[in-house]
Amino acid sequence: MPYIITSLCTNDGACVEVCPVACIHTKPGAPQFYVDPEVCIDCEQCEIVCPVDAIFKDIDIPAEHAESIEVNAAFFRQNKAAIGPVPFDTAWAMIRSAHEYAEMVGATVTAVVVDEAGAPIAVGKMDKAEPRSAELAFDKAYTAAAFHVATATLVPQARQPSLRSLVISHRGKILPMAGAIPILNGVTIVGAIGVAGSSRPEQDALCCRAALAVWQNPGH
C-alpha cells in the first residue's frame, strides 16, 4: 500500500528528508515529487511532514486525485534506468579503491559489493583483516541496499521498534551501523558497498566513499 504524492505538491522537498528508504524523487522541471510504489514501505513519515497535505495512502486517496496513483508509477517507469547490477569488474575496482584508502589510513578491512537485492557481487578481504569483518561488511551492504540509504543515517533509529522488527524479519542481516552506502544510477539503486574492519565505523564509511568515487568517475 504505497503512499502517493498528488498535484497539490509545492516541490519544497520536505518529504525527501524523512523517507527512510529514499523512494521520493523528482527531476529538473517536473511539477512535483513522486513516490516509487515498488520501494515505499508504508511508513507514513512523508504524510506527516508535508506542509500542504499533498500525500495520501493509495487506498485513501480522494477521487479527484486518483489519477496521481498512475502519475507516480509512470514517473518511475520512465525514469528508472533499465540497467543491470554493478558489473563485476567495476565492483572489483571499487573494492580495490576501498582497500587502498584503508591501507593509507593504516586499517585492514573487508569490502563487499552487493546488487540491488542484497546478493553479493564481489568480496575483498585484506590480508590480516578480522575474519568477522566479511560478515559485517556484507550485512552493512545488504542494509544499505534494502533501505536505499547510507547505513550511518539509520544509527539514530537503531532502537526504534519499527527498525528492530525489520532486523528480525530480515533474519539479522539488517545492521544499522555506519560503513555502507547505496550505489545509484540516476534514481535507480543498482547495489551497495559495505566495509568493515577498521577501528571505527566512520572510517569504514570513508572507505566506502573512496570506492564510490570509482563508480561516479569511471576511467579516473
Site residues for ligand SF4 per CB under 6 A: 3, 5, 9-15, 18-19, 21, 23-24, 33, 35, 40-46, 49-50, 52, 54-55
Nearer of residues 43 and 167 to ligand SF4, judged by Cβ: 43
Nearer of residues 50 and 175 to ligand SF4, judged by Cβ: 50
Nearer of residues 49 and 167 to ligand SF4, judged by Cβ: 49
User: Are 204 and 195 contacting, i.e. CB atoms less than 8 angstroms apart?
Assistant: yes
Closest approach, Cβ 86 to ligand SF4, in A, equals 24
DSSP-assigned letter for residue 155: G
Nearer of residues 164 and 209 to ligand SF4, judged by Cβ: 164
Nearer of residues 23 and 136 to ligand SF4, judged by Cβ: 23
Residue 193: beta bridge partners?
113, 181
Closest approach, Cβ 191 to ligand SF4, in A, equals 20
Q: How many CB atoms lie within 10 A of CB 18?
A: 15
Closest approach, Cβ 170 to ligand SF4, in A, equals 16
Vertex 196: Cα angle to 190 and 200 (nearest 5): 125
Closest approach, Cβ 91 to ligand SF4, in A, equals 27
User: Are 182 and 94 contacting, i.e. CB atoms less than 8 angstroms apart?
Assistant: no
User: Are 138 and 120 contacting, i.e. CB atoms less than 8 angstroms apart?
Assistant: yes
Q: How many alpha carbons fall within 13 Å on the CB side of residue 166?
A: 18
Chain center to CA of 166: 15
Closest approach, Cβ 13 to ligand SF4, in A, equals 5
